[in-house]
């Protein structure tokens, strides 16, 4: 299969009807798969109403079919075709955070979306991206788009066109180039099938931000049924590079002398660079321990970078203290490292 490339970055204003947009819409209407940019990561899109198209997503990614997908929309009114009885609290949060990096798991009304998109559940995750190009595509095609991350299942999520091309070129109909994703981590997923609500997957919209809008609306109960995942990333291996990675906790002292630092990368804040062995490779995760937004933005780009560098056979990545704004990045790091943690003083 030849994968078509569209570069829509040339459009500074509203993307009007043109040859590229017409072609993208036609492909979606004919069961095709197209990777589109969003503010979180690139998504592998298909018509969420089309069973054949959605099954092709699972096949292209090598993704287990019981791992539900997130449906992307342009305007809130679209959700009324596939859900019912939304509470005032849910609509208030949607109005507060959309467009933006948060997905809401809501009751699914059968008969509009195809069965495969929900992974066999009676609920569906839905979000409204804020990325300019992604939003204009969703508006023009005028259909709900199912879009998990545009990568091979289990790999680090793609935040650049190059990441998508590496994993999916020749496997899908097209890729839209839209520069690097701003957020860099997948959306927060809020389970709204119960109240108080529950964060099924942490992201840049945090518990405290949600509770600024509706106090007491998010439970602290983190127990989730991983045998029947309700959101992506809960059951299967995710975010892992081929290069072995360990979380580096309490990195405040110089590591002991070691003969093979030359093939090791230290992914740490720039203000910790002075602790990195001279023979090792330093990769800046962010400026300092408080620069969480930059760390979120850089994480997947760095994980991809590890696998592209043949000189690196092991990496340590800086572990942040667990707080409201670090929950998301530590969730992704722990999965990338397969829960492996080492203390800085033990190196």
* Ligand-binding site membership of 49 (annotated): no
For residue 246, give the nearest of 136, 347, 120 by alpha carbon: 347
* Ligand-binding site membership of 81 (annotated): no
If you search the block for the tokens 């589109």, which residue do you land on? 36
* Ligand-binding site membership of 157 (annotated): yes
* Ligand-binding site membership of 96 (annotated): no
Task: Tell me how far apart the 2 most distant CA atoms of the chain are, in Å.
Answer: 64
* Ligand-binding site membership of 193 (annotated): no
* Ligand-binding site membership of 72 (annotated): yes
Burial of 86 (C-beta count, 10 Å sphere; 0-12/13-18/19+): middle
Range 238-247 burial, b when 16+ CB lie within 10 A, else e: bbbbebebbb
* Ligand-binding site membership of 188 (annotated): no
What are the helix and strand counts (H, E) for the chain?
Answer: 8, 15
* Ligand-binding site membership of 127 (annotated): yes
Helix (H, G, I), strand (E, B) or coil at 198: strand
Burial of 251 (C-beta count, 10 Å sphere; 0-12/13-18/19+): buried
* Ligand-binding site membership of 239 (annotated): yes
Distance CA 44, CA 115 (A): 18
Binding site as annotated, residues for ATP:
63, 67, 149, 157, 201, 239
Binding site as annotated, residues for L-threonine:
40, 72, 127, 147, 187
Binding site as annotated, residues:
40, 63, 67, 72, 127, 147, 149, 157, 187, 201, 239
């Amino acid at each position: 299969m030849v994968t078509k490339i569209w570069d829509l970055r040339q459009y500074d204003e509203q993307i009007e009807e043109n040859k590229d947009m017409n072609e993208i819409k036609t492909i979606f209407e004919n069961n095709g798969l197209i990777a589109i940019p969003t503010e979180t990561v690139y998504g592998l899109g298909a018509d969420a109403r089309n069973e054949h198209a959605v099954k092709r997503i699972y096949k292209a990614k090598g993704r287990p079919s019981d791992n539900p997908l997130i449906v992307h929309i342009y305007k809130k009114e679209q959700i009324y075709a596939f859900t019912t009885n939304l509470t005032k609290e849910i609509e208030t949060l949607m109005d507060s955070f959309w467009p933006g990096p948060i997905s809401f798991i809501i009751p699914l009304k059968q008969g509009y979306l195809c069965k495969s998109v929900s992974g066999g559940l009676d609920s569906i995750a839905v979000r409204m991206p804020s990325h300019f190009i992604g939003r204009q595509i969703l508006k023009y095609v005028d259909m709900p788009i199912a879009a998990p991350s545009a990568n091979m299942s289990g790999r680090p999520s793609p935040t650049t066109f190059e990441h998508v091309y590496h994993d999916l070129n020749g496997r899908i109909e097209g890729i839209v180039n839209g520069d690097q994703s701003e957020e860099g981590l997948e959306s927060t997923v809020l389970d709204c099938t119960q109240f108080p609500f529950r964060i099924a997957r942490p992201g840049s919209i945090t518990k405290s931000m949600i509770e600024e809008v509706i106090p007491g609306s998010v439970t602290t109960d983190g127990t989730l049924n991983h045998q029947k995942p309700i959101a992506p990333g809960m059951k299967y291996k995710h975010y892992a590079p081929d290069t072995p990675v360990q979380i580096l906790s309490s990195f405040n002292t110089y590591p002991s002398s070691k003969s093979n630092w030359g093939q090791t990368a230290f992914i740490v804040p720039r203000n910790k660079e002075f602790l990195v062995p001279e023979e090792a490779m330093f990769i800046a995760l962010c400026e300092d321990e408080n620069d969480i937004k930059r760390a979120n933005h850089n994480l997947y780009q760095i994980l991809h970078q590890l696998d592209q560098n043949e000189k690196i056979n092991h990496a340590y990545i800086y572990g942040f203290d667990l707080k409201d704004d670090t929950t998301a990045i530590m969730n992704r790091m722990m999965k990338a490292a397969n829960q492996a943690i080492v203390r800085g003083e033990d190196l």
